């Protein structure tokens, strides 16, 4: 049980909340309301498996960097509180849960699950060769709403990519903010983050524009799906949350970055889902 607790802490299991609401957003939009308990259960299982596999694999891929980086040196793997073999086994088990859950949903979800898994695992190596790694992470989470849509409809439709694009811009934007705290390390060890390439000030400006794009895409999506006032209230709250998030960080002061990253982004995804989900259930 101690090892399991260390594993869940190492992968920040509670941060599954970032992507799960968007998976359900795709499912609710596809169903124009609640998609049913069975589909909802297997979406939760699939998202838990996919996100856990991605984070565990990321810890494995970055374990040597984490040992050298003062910010991450006290993580479980660098401190040898967990063995690489155990984390690899956990990654395999989580991947199996994801693929099995996709199989329980429908044939298309099952056939697409290995492709989705390859994308989310591939992200862990992108900082080694491209400063666009933040957008690759965004792509990894953007799979969630498309997956939710496929879980309900059993097919991919263009409409699902509205939310996927919003997630890509949202995640890319906040991951750039998060990467600012590793600016010195990335420059010293040749890691290709956007802040290390263009500087923290310019990176934060790019992050802001990505979040503006997120809002524009969501506005287009709300118009396309003809959502009611309730959804638009949720969108206003999301915009306020993003504005506040950017007010917390400054090129010369990143001391409040953790609050900006963890608390606000969990709230942003949850608030958007709650308001749109209620809208679709009350006014299908």
As a dihedral over the C-alpha atoms of residue 246, residue 211, residue 50, residue 11, rounded to 10 degrees, the angle is -10
* CB-side neighbour CA atoms (13 Å) of 266: 11
Strand, coil or helix: 250: strand
Per-residue pLDDT, 14: 62
Query: One digit per residue, pLDDT tens: the chain, 284 residues?
Result: 677 777 767 667 666 667 799 999 999 999 999 999 999 999 999 999 999 999 999 999 999 998 999 988 888 888 888 889 999 999 999 999 999 999 999 999 999 999 999 999 999 999 999 999 999 999 999 999 999 999 999 999 999 999 999 999 999 999 999 999 999 999 998 899 999 999 999 999 999 999 999 999 999 999 999 999 999 999 999 999 999 999 988 888 888 877 556 778 888 999 999 999 999 999 88
Per-residue pLDDT, 253: 84
In residues, how long is the chain? Answer: 284
Q: Where are the domains of the chain?
A: 2-282
Per-residue pLDDT, 95: 97
CATH number of 2-282: 1.10.357.140
Per-residue pLDDT, 11: 67
Written in H, E and C, the secondary structure of 242-260 is: HHHHHHHCECCECCCHHHH
Q: What are phi and psi of 253, to 5 degrees?
A: -145, 100
């Amino acid at each position: 049980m101690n090892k399991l607790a260390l594993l869940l802490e190492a992968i920040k299991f509670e941060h599954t909340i970032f992507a799960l609401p968007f998976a359900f957003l795709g499912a609710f939009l596809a169903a124009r309301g609640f998609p049913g308990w069975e589909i909802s259960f297997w979406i939760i299982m699939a998202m838990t498996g996919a996100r856990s596999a991605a984070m565990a694999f990321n810890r494995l891929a970055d374990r040597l960097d984490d040992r050298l980086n003062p910010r991450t040196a006290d993580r479980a793997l660098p401190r040898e509180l967990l063995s690489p073999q155990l984390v690899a086994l956990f990654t395999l088990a989580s991947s199996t849960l994801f693929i099995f859950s996709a199989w329980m949903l429908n044939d298309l979800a099952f056939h697409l699950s290995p492709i989705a898994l390859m994308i989310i695992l591939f992200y862990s190596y992108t900082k080694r060769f491209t400063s666009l790694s933040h957008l690759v992470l965004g792509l990894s989470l953007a799979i969630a709403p498309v997956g939710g849509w496929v879980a309900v409809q059993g097919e991919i439709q263009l409409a699902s990519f509205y939310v996927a694009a919003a997630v890509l811009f949202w995640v890319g934007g906040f991951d750039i903010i998060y990467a600012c705290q590793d600016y010195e390390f990335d420059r010293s060890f040749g890691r290709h983050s956007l802040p290390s390439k263009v500087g923290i000030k310019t990176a934060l400006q790019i992050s802001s524009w990505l979040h503006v794009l997120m809002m524009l895409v969501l506005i287009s999506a709300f118009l396309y799906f003809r959502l009611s006032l309730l959804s638009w209230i949720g969108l206003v709250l999301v915009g306020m949350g993003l504005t506040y998030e950017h007010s917390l960080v400054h090129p010369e002061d990143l001391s409040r970055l953790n609050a900006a990253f963890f608390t606000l982004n969990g709230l942003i995804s949850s608030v958007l889902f709650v308001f749109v989900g209620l809208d679709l259930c009350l006014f299908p």
